[in-house]
Amino acid sequence: MKRFALLSSCVFLSLSAFVLPAGGAEDKPVSYKAAHSYQPDHPFSVGMKQLAAMVSEKTGGKFIITEYPSGQLGSEKDLADSLVNGIVEMAIIGPGEIGKRYKPVLIFDGPFIFRDFAHAEKVLSGDIGKELWGGLEKSTGIKALSTLYYGTRYVTSKKPIRTPEDMKGMKLRAPDQPLSVANAKAMGANPTPMALSEVYLALQQNVVDGQENPIPTIYTQKFYEVQSHINLTGHVLQLTPLFISKSKFDALSPAFQKALMDSTAAVAPKINAAVAAAEKNWLSEMQSKGMQVVQPDVDSFRKATQPVIKQFEGQWGVGLYERIQAVK
């Protein structure tokens, strides 16, 4: 799992070689909220609890991070608004939502952008990653603490899906983000945007026929209870950042900043490794519960979604896709 560690550290600020004293007498107690949409047993939620515990330990209990999972503080759109306005200090938010505020990061939700996780890791650790997260911070006041591996997105359904032809007329839940909607349309479906917290009931009541997400989300949301097939389309290898309001980060003492950055550097690789393990283990478990695994014609989905690249390149920047593909 060593390859997961590099991605987690590549977006961090350079830290001093000397350890600053954390939680000294000069530091006033701080309490920050950290919110996301995922269930408490999702690796993201487990990792955030670990992060909060580590920060508290490093600061002698003076820097408290309280996690709010399961969309308790709202949808990703709500969290992005709250982050910008300083209502929520920290949040895990997908690039599709953040991309509404700084369009170049939309590319991370594009179809078949990355060949595999190693490719994504190299992109994020190089000039492209630095440019994108640096530009986001300057433009919006939202700072990326780390980029987490969310997983590879697959389509679940009530019938086998082997080609885009099989998705024609299918009502597919998609995140309420332009690029996600475009991906669904390109694959042949009729996209129905809705918040993650609404999806289980929508599937159960046949409001939608299917949805698409990585395995850890499919499992922790229990979509296998209301869907019979998981189709390994792999149309998006998704990275989801942990953000903090830059003004809130800047308001921390140097010792508290270091405690947060060091803790994130330690915990993020564990989250990434847990997601990778969950993709394998939970897929097997869902099979044991009766879900059928379908190996579709991935090339047909890659071909069908290529027009999305041209459709959105004017937003994320002409030539950015080609630069990413050129990274070896």
The string of pLDDT tens digits covering residues 270-302 is 999 999 999 999 999 999 999 999 999 999 999
User: How many independent structural domains does the chain possess?
Assistant: 1
pLDDT tens digits, residue range 9-35? 444 433 333 344 445 546 899 999 999
**Chain-wide mean pLDDT for the chain?**
92
Residue 51 lies in a domain: yes
Structure confidence by residue, pLDDT tens digits, 184-195: 999 999 999 999
Tell the residue number behind the tokens 């847990």, with chain if given: 274
What does the alpha-carbon distance between residue 106 and residue 246 come to, in Å, rounded to a whole number? 20
| Residue type, position 163, single letter | T
Name the residue with tokens 């994108």: 132
Residue range of the domain that includes 125 = 2-12+26-321
Residue pair 173/211 in contact (Cβ under 8 Å)? The answer is yes
- pLDDT (tens digit, 9 = 90+) per residue, 90-145? 999 999 999 999 999 999 999 999 999 889 989 988 999 999 999 999 999 999 99
Q: What is the pLDDT of residues 134-148, one digit of tens each?
A: 999 999 999 999 999
As given in the structure block, the two tokens for residue 328 are 């070896």
Query: Chain centroid to CA 243: how far?
Result: 11
Examine residue 255 and state whether it is found in any structural domain, yes or no. yes
Q: Is residue 17 part of a domain?
A: no
> pLDDT category, 47, cuts 50, 70, 90?
very high
Query: Which CATH number is 148's domain given?
Result: 3.40.190.170
Q: What is the reported pLDDT for 27?
A: 80
**221 has pLDDT over 80:** yes
Question: Does any domain span residue 20?
Answer: no
What is the distance in angstroms between the CA of the first residue and the CA of the last residue of the chain? 19
Handedness of CA 300, 303, 304, 308 (dihedral sign): positive
Q: Dump pLDDT digits (tens) for 59-78.
A: 999 999 999 999 999 999 99
Tell me if the pTM is above 0.85: yes
The answer to whether position 197 is within a domain reads yes
Whether 102 is in a domain gets the answer: yes
CA gap 59, 121 in Å, rounded? 31
Q: Where are the alpha helices (DSSP H) in 126-230?
A: 127-140, 178-186, 199-204, 215-220
